[in-house]
Amino acid sequence: MALTEYKYSDVIHRCFRCGYCKFPTSFVEVNNCPAYARYRLESYSTGGRLWLIRAWLNDELDWSEHLGEIVYSCAACKNCAEQCPLPFSGDIVDMIVAAKGEMVERGSIPSAVKEFLENVDRQGNPYGTARSKRGEWMEGTDIEEYRGQEFLYYVGCVGSYDTRAQQAARALGRVLQKGGVSFGVLGNKENCDGNDVGKLGEAGLFEALAEENVRQFKDLGVRRIVTLSPHAFNAIKNDYPRLDSAFEVLHYTQLLRDLVRARKLDVSSGFNAKLTYHDPCFLGRWNMEYEAPREVLRTIPGVELVEMERHRADALCCGGGGGNFYTDFLGGSEDSPSRIRARDACATGASVVATACPNCLTMLEDAVKAEGLDDRLKVMDISEIVSEACPPKGN
C-alpha cells in the first residue's frame, strides 16, 4: 500500500515529535512510554514510530525485522493518546495498528508476532497449547460449566494457560461463588477474545474470533459477561458491538465493587498489608475504570492503599500490551517497563503490588523476580486479595 491509500495518510505527518507522548502529565519521568523506556532511542518513541511508518509507506525505507520490532514494540498502552495535545491524539494508536495491519497483509511481520497469530489461529491461544487443555485451570475447583447462569465468566487465554494467572482465575471463581454470583465458564469451548490479535493488526482473524465468540455466546443464551482480563473486557465492550452483539460486560473489579457495596460479599477476614495498585491499561486508559478496583481494595479491612507516583491515567504500562507479554520486544533489560514498574511499586514501601489483569500479573511477577525484590514485594491479583479477605465457608 502506498501512503496515499493508508487510512491516516492525511494526519500521520502532523506529528511534530514534540515528545509529550513520552511523559506522564506531571513530567516526572521521560519514560512513560514503555517502548521508549526500554530503548531510549527516538525510533522507539511514538513520534519516531509514526515518522518511520510514514517513511516506510512512502518507500523511503524498506521493511526489516527491526522496523517490524519497532512498530510492534508499541504496547498500545495509550499513554501517547493521553498526553498528545494535538486534535488527532485519539487516533495515534490506530495509526500504529493500521501500520501493523499493512505489515500483516504484506506477510512481513516479526517472527514472534507470526507465531502469536498462527498459534491463536490453530489453538485459540497465543501459546499454541492445545485447545483441549484450555479448561485445565479449573481442575480441583467446583466451578460449573456455563449453562444459562446469570453470568458467563470469560477467563481469557492468559488466565487459562499461564500457571501464575491460573491462580487468579481460580481465586476469582472462589470469590464469585462466595458472593453468591450465578455464573459458569466455557472451559475447553472458550476461545481467544482477540483483543490483542486486533491490536497486532490481524483484523481478519480478529473478526473471525469475534464472530465465533458472539455466535457461541448467543447460542448459549449469554446476556451478562464478567471477564478476568481487561483485554477481553475491552474487546467485548468496545469491539464486539459492531457485530450487533448486545451483551452486558463487566470487568470483575466492577462486579466485585457492586457486590461489596450491596454487602453481598463478606471481606471481613481482611488483608493486612500496605499495598499499591497498578492500573492495567485496558481497564484504565482504554476504559477509564480507575475507581472500581481501588474501591474494592479500600473496603477490605487492613488494606492500606498507597499510590505510586505515576497512577491512573499516568500509570506506566507493564509492557505486556499489544501482544508484548508473548512477543517480548520490551523484555530482557533493567529498563524493561515491567521492571521499572516493579521498582516504582517498591518505592512506595508497599509490601504488595496489586493489579487486576492477568497480563500485568505475570509481567510484574517476573519483573519482581528479575529485580530480586520477591522477598520485599508480592505481586497479587485483586481477585486473590479479595479471596483471602473472604472468611472460609460456613461463617
- Dist. CA 211–CA 83, nearest whole Å: 34
Pick the closer one to another protein by CB: 40 or 264: 40
Question: Exposed, middle or buried, 144 (CB in 10 Å: 0-12/13-18/19+)?
Answer: middle
Residue 111 within binding range of another protein, rule CB under 8 A = yes
Residue 259 within binding range of another protein, rule CB under 8 A = no
41 and 34 Cβ atoms separated by less than 8 Å? no
Residue 133 within binding range of another protein, rule CB under 8 A = yes
Residue 187 within binding range of another protein, rule CB under 8 A = no
Direct distance between the N- and C-terminal alpha carbons of the chain, in angstroms, rounded to an integer: 64
Which among 111-119, 146-154, 239-247, 262-270 is the span making contact with another protein, rule CB under 8 A? 111-119
Distance in Å, CB of 71 to another protein, minimum? 10
Residue 109 within binding range of another protein, rule CB under 8 A = yes
Count the neighbouring beta carbons within 10 Å of the beta carbon of residue 306: 13
Pick the closer one to another protein by CB: 132 or 395: 132
Pick the closer one to another protein by CB: 7 or 114: 114
Backbone φ and ψ for 95, nearest 5 degrees, come out as: -60, -40
Pick the closer one to another protein by CB: 22 or 251: 22
Out of 67, 81, 93, 377, the only residue in the binding site for another protein (CB under 8 A) is: 67
Pick the closer one to another protein by CB: 285 or 310: 310
In Å, how far from its chain's centre is CA 234? 9
Three-state secondary-structure class, residue 378? strand
Out of 202, 279, 289, 381, the only residue in the binding site for another protein (CB under 8 A) is: 202
Out of 87, 140, 392, 394, the only residue in the binding site for another protein (CB under 8 A) is: 87
Residue with cell 495498585: 277
Extract the runs of DSSP E, i.e. beta strands, from the chain: 151-154, 183-184, 224-227, 248-251, 273-277, 303-306, 352-355, 378-381
Residue 170 within binding range of another protein, rule CB under 8 A = no
- Dist. CA 187–CA 5, nearest whole Å: 42
DSSP 81: H
Pick the closer one to another protein by CB: 203 or 305: 203
Pick the closer one to another protein by CB: 133 or 274: 133
Residue 269 within binding range of another protein, rule CB under 8 A = no
DSSP 138: G
Distance in Å, CB of 183 to another protein, minimum? 26
Which among 113-121, 221-229, 237-245, 380-388 is the span making contact with another protein, rule CB under 8 A? 113-121
Which among 16-24, 176-184, 298-306, 387-395 is the span making contact with another protein, rule CB under 8 A? 16-24
- For residue 159, how many C-alpha atoms fall within 13 Å in the half-sphere facing its CB? 31
Residue 290 within binding range of another protein, rule CB under 8 A = no
- Dist. CA 339–CA 186, nearest whole Å: 34
- Dist. CA 242–CA 198, nearest whole Å: 14
Residue 28 within binding range of another protein, rule CB under 8 A = yes
Residue 347 within binding range of another protein, rule CB under 8 A = no
Q: What cell numbers appear for 72 in the block?
A: 510492534
Residue 48 within binding range of another protein, rule CB under 8 A = yes
Residue 374 within binding range of another protein, rule CB under 8 A = yes
Task: Look at the alpha carbons of 136, 138, 141, 145 in this order and tell me if their dihedral is positive or negative.
Answer: negative
Window 229-258: residues binding another protein (CB under 8 A): none
Residue 122 within binding range of another protein, rule CB under 8 A = yes
CB neighbour list of residue 267: distance below 8 Å, 6 or more residues apart: 260, 299, 300, 301, 386, 389, 390
Which among 128-136, 236-244, 252-260, 297-305 is the span making contact with another protein, rule CB under 8 A? 128-136
Out of 7, 129, 307, 313, the only residue in the binding site for another protein (CB under 8 A) is: 129
What angle, rounded to 10 degrees, do the helices at 203-219 and 111-123 form?
A: 20
- Dist. CA 123–CA 145, nearest whole Å: 20
Contact residues toward another protein (CB under 8 A) are 13-20, 22-23, 26-30, 38-43, 48, 51-52, 55, 60-62, 64-67, 70, 85-87, 104-109, 111, 113-114, 117-119, 121-123, 127-133, 202-205, 207-208, 333, 369-372, 374
